[in-house]
Amino acid sequence: MGMVKRWLKRPGVQKALARILVAYLKFALGTTRWTLIGLDHAVHPPGRPTIVAFWHQRLALIPALLMLARQKGIERRVTALTSRHRDGMLVSAVMEGFGLAVVNGSTARGGQEKGGSAALRRLLACLDAGQVVALTPDGPRGPACVPAPGLAQLAALSGAPIIPCAAQVAWRINLPGWDRTVLPLPFGRGVMLCGAPISVPRRDWLDSLPGLKAAIDAVTARADGMV
């Protein structure tokens, strides 16, 4: 088993896996009949810096938001935050396959630095340029549905609003792992929700975390209820 894991972590193997995943997700998400609610919250007004936040469990579904926006003729530069871990490198390659830019780095909840400071500076630069930043505040390793402080800090320093997002599909598989990641199956129904913008004050930004969690939980529960 250990030999298989080491083989799967080879750069060449990860690139091949990423290509397969991108092709599969484009097929599965593209054949899903989507109900899209609240897109304007995430993409308008044009040029407004925006932070899109969603739970890690729905990571494989969120590229559909970009696909749906493009179908409506909306093009926004989107940068995704992913981990520096080897698993994060696979996620980065998949995100790039959907046309997203990627910033690698995260800060462990115990305070151990994992490129978080450099990533924060790069994300602030992206927001300063009027881009959309997408991130999973409970990633890369959980606990599930508990936001790390970096989400509120980024919003406080940038002044950009946070858009709580969620998606769910009727036909799916939940993968084994800490968050039971949703893998969409083709030809099903899906719901994509973007909630109202949330502003985080520059001072006392940590106090915003419970409200941010509640907002992402609410749109996630609503998406689940609609399918």
How confident is the model over 58-74, as pLDDT tens digits? 999 999 999 999 999 99
pLDDT over 90 (residue 165): yes
Give the pLDDT confidence of 113-152 residue by residue, as tens digits. 456 788 999 999 999 999 999 999 998 888 999 999 999 9
Q: What is the pLDDT of residue 117?
A: 85
Q: What's the CATH number for 2-226?
A: 3.40.1130
The one-letter code for the residue type at 187 is: F
Mean pLDDT of 36-47: 90
Domain definitions of the chain by residue range: 2-226
pLDDT over 90 (residue 86): no
4: three-class secondary structure by DSSP = helix
pTM (two decimals): 0.91
Q: Which of 87, 135, 127, 83 is nearest to 105 (CA)?
A: 83
pLDDT over 60 (residue 217): yes
